[in-house]
């Protein structure tokens, strides 16, 4: 299973489909084929591995796969049926598929007389696939809200200036998080105030290979010369202030990992709506005072209504700290290492 997890890392970290790896063993426990999923429209990991065997080569074999084999027809056929037709005798998987349409592969395999074992190294695979599993279970993207602030919770000085609160190492980590996301979301206020490019860049300012699609939320017009129009992906404009409507549309567009990097108004709207799966909070060892707070009204009127978080990790980046946290009630469902 650990080899299958390593294979899964070869797949794209963004997109609709999960990263899945598969190892096929013969009757003596020897590896006879390996495969992984390379992205939407390509063979799933099980089929990729089976394709490397001659006809009949998987008869009596064991397939070890990180995610329960799917049981539906999308861009490709159901992996459960492919394994049955190949004559696989046993399937071992780590995590059940939470997808409404794609789940049920284990039951189909058992129905066909295939021995099925689930839950092997489940914790490791849940940590690896945490964002995708959450998105599949909830039917919406996995949403990370990010902000950078002073220790007293200010995202800008009283006059609105904010470049730069955090140092180079923290800013580079933000670019890495952007690159690991399908979409980056900001409000029109952020575009008008800061003119961000919303790209993911390397240390030397070069564009990284993977870029999030820029999404601008709000009804105000954006100047034609705005930097976001030079992004490698066309900008998506969402003319709404309803974040639930926004999230539904982003999911319908195929986005499964969304990085919210807007200002306090947009961030607070996501928090108030209960639509945050993970917080990425960058803290700089400085004090600013004044009114420019990271969050505004999040519909907490008394201490009993506070929104408690579970801290996943605290990382020092130069002089700054990155705190990753999740809502306390679902912390166990989040990934630890990505």
Each residue's pLDDT expressed in tens, for the chain with a length of 338 residues: 999 999 999 999 888 889 999 999 999 999 999 999 998 889 999 999 999 999 999 999 999 999 999 988 777 789 999 999 999 999 999 999 987 777 889 999 999 999 999 999 999 999 999 999 999 889 999 999 999 999 999 999 998 888 889 999 999 999 999 999 999 999 999 999 899 999 999 999 999 999 999 999 999 999 999 999 999 999 999 999 999 999 999 999 999 999 999 899 999 999 999 999 999 999 999 999 999 999 999 999 999 999 999 999 999 999 999 999 999 975 444 443 34
Of 128, 154, 176, the domain-final residue: 128
Domain membership of residue 207 (yes or no) is: yes
Are 37 and 148 part of one and the same domain? no
| Residues identified as active-site | 46
Collapsing DSSP states into helix, strand and coil, what is residue 171?
helix
How does pLDDT run across 78-109, given as a tens digit for each residue? 999 999 999 999 999 999 998 777 788 999 99
Q: Are residues 4 and 19 in contact, defined by beta-carbon separation less than 8 angstroms? A: no
- Per-residue tokens: 31: 């590896």
Are 227 and 288 part of one and the same domain? yes
What's the domain range around 79? 2-128
Domain membership of residue 338 (yes or no) is: no
Angle separating helix axes 264-272 and 243-252, nearest 10 degrees: 90
Q: What is the CATH number of the domain that holds 247?
A: 3.40.430.10
Contacts 24+ apart (CB under 8 A), 167-170: 167/284, 167/317, 167/318, 167/319, 167/320, 168/318, 169/317, 169/318, 169/320, 170/282, 170/284, 170/317, 170/318, 170/320, 170/322
Q: Is the peptide bond before 211 cis (omega within 30 degrees of 0)?
A: no
Of 98, 128, 158, the domain-final residue: 128
Q: What predicted TM-score, i.e. pTM, was given to this entire model?
A: 0.87
Domain membership of residue 105 (yes or no) is: yes
């Amino acid at each position: 299973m650990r080899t299958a997890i390593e294979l899964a890392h070869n797949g794209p970290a963004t997109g609709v489909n999960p990263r899945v790896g598969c190892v096929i063993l013969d009757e003596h426990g020897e590896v006879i084929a390996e495969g992984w999923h390379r992205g939407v429209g390509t063979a799933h990991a099980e089929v990729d591995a089976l394709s490397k065997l001659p006809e009949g080569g998987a008869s009596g074999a064991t397939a070890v796969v990180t995610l329960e084999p799917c049981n539906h027809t999308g861009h490709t056929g159901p992996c459960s049926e492919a394994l049955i037709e190949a004559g696989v005798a046993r399937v071992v998987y780590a995590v059940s598929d939470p997808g409404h349409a794609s789940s049920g592969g284990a039951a189909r395999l058992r129905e066909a007389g295939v021995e099925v074992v689930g839950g092997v190294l489940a914790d490791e695979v849940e940590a690896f696939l945490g964002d995708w599993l959450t998105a599949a279970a909830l039917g919406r993207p996995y949403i990370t809200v990010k902000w950078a602030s002073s220790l007293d919770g200010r995202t800008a000085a009283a006059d609105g200036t904010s470049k730069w609160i955090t140092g180079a190492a923290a800013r580079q980590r933000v670019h890495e998080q952007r690159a690991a996301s399908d979409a980056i979301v900001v409000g029109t206020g952020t575009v008008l105030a800061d003119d961000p490019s919303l790209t993911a860049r390397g240390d030397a300012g070069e564009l990284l290979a993977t870029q999030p699609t820029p999404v601008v939320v709000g009804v105000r017009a954006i100047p034609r010369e705005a930097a976001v129009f030079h992004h490698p992906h066309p900008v998506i404009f969402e003319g709404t202030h309803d974040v639930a409507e926004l999230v539904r549309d982003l999911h319908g567009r195929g986005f499964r990992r969304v990085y919210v990097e807007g200002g306090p108004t947009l961030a607070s709207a996501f928090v108030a709506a209960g639509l945050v799966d993970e917080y990425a909070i960058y803290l700089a060892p400085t004090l600013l005072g004044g009114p420019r707070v990271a969050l505004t009204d999040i519909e907490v009127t008394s201490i009993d209504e506070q929104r408690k978080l579970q801290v996943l990790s605290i990382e020092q980046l130069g002089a700054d700290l990155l705190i990753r946290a999740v809502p306390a009630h679902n912390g166990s469902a989040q990934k630890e290492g990505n």
